[in-house]
Chains A and B, each alone.
Chain A
Amino acid sequence: MANITKKVSWSSRADESSAAGEATPLINGSEKRQHDGEVRGAVFQTGRLSNVDLEEITSDEESHRGHPKEIPHNEKLLSLKYESLDYDNIENQLFLEEERRMSYLGFRCLEISRWVICGLIGFLTGLIACFIDIVVEQLAGMKYQVVKENIDRFTEVGGLSLSLILWAVLNSAFVVVGAIIVAFFEPIAAGSGIPQIKCYLNGVKVPRVVRLKTLVVKVCGVICSVVGGLAVGKEGPMIHSGAVVAAGVSQGRSTSLKRDFKIFEYFRRDTEKRDFVSAGAAAGVSAAFGAPVGGVLFSLEEGASFWNQMLTWRIFFASMISTFTLNFFLSIYHNNPGDLSNPGLINFGRFENDSVAYYLYEIPLFIAMGAIGGLLGALFNILNYWLTIFRIRYVHRPCLQVMEAMLVAAVTATVSFTMIYFSDDCQPLGPEHTEEYPLQLFCADGEYNSMATAFFNTPERSVRSLFHNQPGSYNPLTLGLFTLTYFFLACWTYGLTVSAGVFIPSLLIGAAWGRLCGILLSAISATGSIWADPGKYALIGAAAQLGGIVRMTLSLTVIMVEATGNVTYGLPIMLVLMTAKIVGDYFVEGLYDIHIKLQSIPFLHWEAPATSHWLTAREVMSSSVTCLNKVEKVGTIVDILSNTSTNHNGFPVVVSQSDSAKLCGLILRSQLIVLLKHKVFVELARSRLTQRKLQLKDFRDAYPRFPPIQSIHVSQDERECLMDLSEFMNPTPYTVPQETSLPRVFKLVRALGLRHLVVVDDENRVVGLVTRKDLARYHLGKHGLEELQLAQT
């Protein structure tokens, strides 16, 4: 009895096959129409579920095929696939009893274990970052060495087109591996993962986003795509990895590996898990950029609904530990153990003291650069938006996705090679060998091809050399061409089915045009020596471009400041990011928000849309709510739960008095399933007095993968039994009257992380239910308030 996992088939397979059943609407009161055979069969196997529909026309769904209600995918949809997380504690009797039993000492222990978990999260995240870094460095080093030797040989004897093919094939090979594991094993691991983590912290349960399998695929995938020479970075995936680590560690078990360590059981619920996930995301940022404070601010900016001082302090602890771990292991790897001063996966390097100087008259220039960054960022986002729509509509089969990734890899190599081949920009080799893989090609002996430092390198190194190389190591034409090609390559690459981040490519594009600006400025004013350092402008350009694309503000400023290790640049970077955001927002949203929208995720922003005050709860809510009685027949419950057309997750519990049914509580689908599983029926309790009472532990054991209703067998006899819900339901659900305005409802749901908000009339009768999707569908479009439509995806 201790471990339910043993008894039910909780495997992911079972749960996928019932995706239509489980991964569904939290909207109570919405019914959905099933169109079999139309949707991807792999995900939806709705056929085997019984379609017991009450009122609507599911039987003649065939006739609906050509119905205009089927529209091409666009951004104005909300998917039914996404549920809310239960951030609000279910304060039922069991919970209260347990809390009351716990002594002061018990709470102290919990607090301590929270700290321990945060430490572990930081440690493991740092280890993963270290692993990725080392493997990428080794593999990329090998690849570039092979290609370089090949190019050197063929420059002499002829046949450089063979080198080109070799390079393209090597790239494609790595990328194909990465794309296959992502496309076929864990599609959620595609992309940077930041949008998904943002959604998770926002309260959306993105299926499979924090699983161990996702982590493995993510790590391998990012290694493959970076080594494969795509225009990507490994920083975004680090954040996702940190989040997965956090979600795993805090639960003290792995459902995928079927191991339960029997620790941290108290934390097996969404509220606690969210806090740890935000710590994990922070640890990821901190490992990626060597920016612990930036990490904390990132998870506050993107995730937390309200500021919790103790939580923030714990998050900071996790971030610090993560940076420390990464430093420590990298120092061992670099053969000077104990040197902890070289943090971050991407290390922008220290700016020399004389080059950090900036003067008042440069501020307008920085702001102008911010505006350019905003414009270019908006262009990037718009292009990527169209590309992503195309991809969702037409390139949705896994094999096509793999093929696309392969082609992008090959083209990236080709373009890079052509650029290098036709570049006439030769620079003398520096004494300290900053160029890792200098390509000579047609340059004079003792010189290297300057274009090759930008293209024939991992993106991080390119960024660093753009920041720090001597003035004069690039000529303007090289930088211009590089910016242009890399801009389109990066834009094309983001959104492929490989796990890869957009941070580094953005920085690289920005650094290239920023450096170009610096060079041009110093060319214009021949006298001023202050203009002479193009590295400074490269940094500002990088900040502007990144800000223009992702539109983060506070955390990005701090991350940039920390990654350069130079607080002197705080002001210009802040100004630049502000300008970039203002300019960019005029045209289009940030890249992450675009992708969240395109995935039809019901994301709640900070505030309700500005012009929504005239809407009230009555108009917002879903109505005709399926309610349960306090003592309900098992058969009724089973029927309601297995009705695929009304796949609700929360059910108001009512007591019928004379003619009216008054609200007395709220119960969740997951709780009902556990109750059914354990057969907590009134009749059985009477007959077996000795039966063990159901405890909170039983619910926790089932968390987070509750079995689908189909896997629970209820016999005919049992259907006639009764179930007493009073002990398990949440007797104090949040309710609002019908006249409550939308912003007020919104605030309540957003701030408290509610999943269901019951709308009642003046006699406390249930009239409707407000859920995340009811609120998320309003958004401010070009023509005022618009409403998103619900759709099956």
Chain B
Amino acid sequence: MPLYHQYVFLTVWVLCVCAVASSEGANVNLSVSVESPVLKPAAVEEDSSAPFLLLSAFPDDLEVSDYCSELLRIFGQRYVAYVNCLVPSARPVKVCQNCFGAYGSLVATYMNISSEQLGPGNESCRDSLLRSDRLMLVYLLFNNLKDLWTKSACDKCINDRFQSLTNDTLYFMSSLNQTLTCFDRYQQGNHTELCKNCKSAYKGLNELYSSMEKNDSMCIDIEDGMNMTRRLWSKNFKCSFPREETVPVIAVSGFMLFLPIIFYLSSFLHSEQKKRKLIHPKRAKSYASSLMNIQDKQS
């Protein structure tokens, strides 16, 4: 069974190529397959999906088996599902909490593809799907999403086997919600009211976050939630601490800066200056006269 997406893509591509320079494209294809027989399977895979192309289907033993094609199809479906889930969760970031299930099933399929285990018909899809060509599309696609997953540190918020969110995460989310509802309630009108009333909730959330930071048990969802809340708190509602102790700080530092001046003055005035006693070296008698002459000779 051909892959739908690839099918469409390749069709378009092929049509373009044909329209522009069909002979050239054929040459390329042919020359590749002639020059390096190793790459043949790749050519097979590509071209098998375009039956009306120059090359007809490869012989059976180079074809991808039905089993593997099926796996590939499922992989595609799940891939699409996951990406479809990711994009709407991009802002505010909820990629972990919304899409962990989709990612879990994607990983499961990929595991199937890449496992050493032989499927029915004594074949391994790993070689045929993953590493038969230079592009290694399946591998590349999966790796992109895997990188995304690692980068967002979602593992920290999800239980093993992608079952559910961890308790910590759930707890954090609930207290985040609490804080946000509090913000909502007092948003109208004076912000000082808000700062006062939501302080305990916000502070609790902040502390929770710091403790999680120490445990290193945070995913991007939590970080982003906290960041947004903090920005709301500090920038929108302006509940940060004001700088209001300027006078005592200036007084204390003025005093401190004054001390060395006193110190140096007093040591200048009271400490006796250290004097050095000069010593006349013994020189040859002629030396004295020559010393006189230094200036003369110099000039």
Contact = CB atoms under 8 A, between A and B. Distances in A.
Interface stretch (B23-31, B134-142, B249-257): B249-257
B52 interface: no
B5 interface: no
Contacts of A600: 276
B207 to A, nearest CB: 12
A792 to B, nearest CB: 5
B163 interface: no
B192 to A, nearest CB: 16
Contacts of B252: 161, 164-165, 414
A621 interface: yes
Contacts of B256: 168, 410-411, 414
For the complex of A and B, 9 pairs with smallest distance between CB atoms:
A444-B234, A623-B284, A445-B230, A161-B248, A791-B276, A30-B281, A414-B256, A29-B282, A446-B230
Given A159-B245, A407-B260, A624 B282 contact: yes
Nearest to A77: B276
Interface string B255-299: 011011001100110010111111111111111001100100110
B230 to A, nearest CB: 4
Nearest to B269: A394
Contacts of B240: 442-445
B249 A623 contact: no
A27 B263 CA distance: 40
A396 B274 contact: yes
B266 to A, nearest CB: 9
Contacts of B291: 619, 787
Nearest to A784: B298
Contact of B271 (A397, A611, A619): A397
Interface in B203-239: 206, 226-227, 230-231, 233-235
A790 B278 contact: yes
A445 B206 contact: yes
Contact of B298 (A164, A397, A785): A785
A160 interface: yes
Contacts of B287: 618-619, 623
Contacts of B297: 614
A400 interface: yes
Contacts of A767: 284
A164 B271 contact: no
A746 B299 CA distance: 24
A445 B235 CA distance: 9
Given A31-B282, A446-B234, 10 more contacts: A32-B279, A33-B279, A161-B245, A161-B251, A400-B267, A407-B263, A411-B259, A624-B284, A787-B291, A789-B278
A622 B282 contact: yes
A77 B281 CA distance: 13
B231 A792 contact: no
A27 B257 CA distance: 47
B279 A792 contact: yes
A400 B281 CA distance: 34
Interface string A371-392: 0000000000000000000101
A69 interface: yes
A419 B234 CA distance: 22
B196 to A, nearest CB: 14
Given A164-B249, A410-B256, A71 B282 contact: no
A155 interface: yes
B276 A70 contact: yes
A72 interface: yes
A441 B263 CA distance: 32
9 contacts: A72-B274, A73-B274, A393-B274, A396-B274, A404-B260, A441-B241, A442-B242, A444-B233, A621-B283
Interface string A26-38: 0101111101001
Contacts of A160: 245, 248-249
A107 to B, nearest CB: 42
Given A32-B279, A442-B241, A414 B267 contact: no
B243 interface: yes
A792 B277 contact: yes
A32 B286 CA distance: 21
B278 A71 contact: yes
How many A residues are at the interface, by size bracket? Answer: 35 or more
A33 B280 CA distance: 9
B287 to A, nearest CB: 6
A156 interface: yes
A767 B285 CA distance: 11
Interface of A: 27, 29-33, 35, 38-39, 69-73, 77, 80, 155-156, 158-161, 164-165, 168, 390, 392-397, 400, 403-404, 407-408, 410-411, 414-415, 417-418, 421, 441-447, 600, 611, 614, 618-619, 621-624, 767-768, 773-774, 784-785, 787, 789-793
Contacts of B248: 160-161
Contact of A393 (B250, B273, B280): B273
Contacts of A447: 234
A32 B233 CA distance: 78
A33 B268 CA distance: 28
B279 A791 contact: yes
A407 B241 CA distance: 31
Contacts of A791: 276-279
A395 B257 CA distance: 19
B271 A70 contact: no
B259 A410 contact: yes
A778 B230 CA distance: 69
Given A407-B263, A445-B206, A791-B277, A414 B235 contact: no
A446 B224 CA distance: 11
A80 B279 contact: yes
B61 interface: no
A444 B277 contact: no
A73 B276 contact: yes
A622 B281 contact: yes
B60 interface: no
Contacts of A27: 281
A444 B235 CA distance: 7
A29 B281 contact: yes
B284 A411 contact: no
A159 B245 CA distance: 7
B263 A619 contact: no
B244 interface: yes
A7 B170 CA distance: 81
Contacts of A793: 276
Contacts of B274: 72-73, 392-394, 396
Pick the most buried of A394, A421, A445: most chain B CB atoms within 10 A of its CB: A445
A390 B230 CA distance: 53
A158 B253 contact: no
A160 B251 CA distance: 12
A71 B279 CA distance: 11
A790 B267 contact: no
Contacts of A411: 256-257, 259-260
Nearest to B285: A623
Nearest to B239: A445
A420 to B, nearest CB: 10
A665 B21 CA distance: 102
Contacts of A785: 294, 298
Nearest to A616: B290
Nearest to B153: A431
B245 A394 contact: no
Contact of B243 (A442, A446, A621, A784): A442
Nearest to B249: A161
A622 B283 CA distance: 5
Contacts of B267: 394-395, 400
A643 to B, nearest CB: 13
A450 to B, nearest CB: 16
Contacts of B233: 444-445
A773 B279 CA distance: 12
Contacts of A168: 256
A790 B281 CA distance: 7
B279 A790 contact: yes
A614 B299 CA distance: 13
Contacts of A415: 253, 257
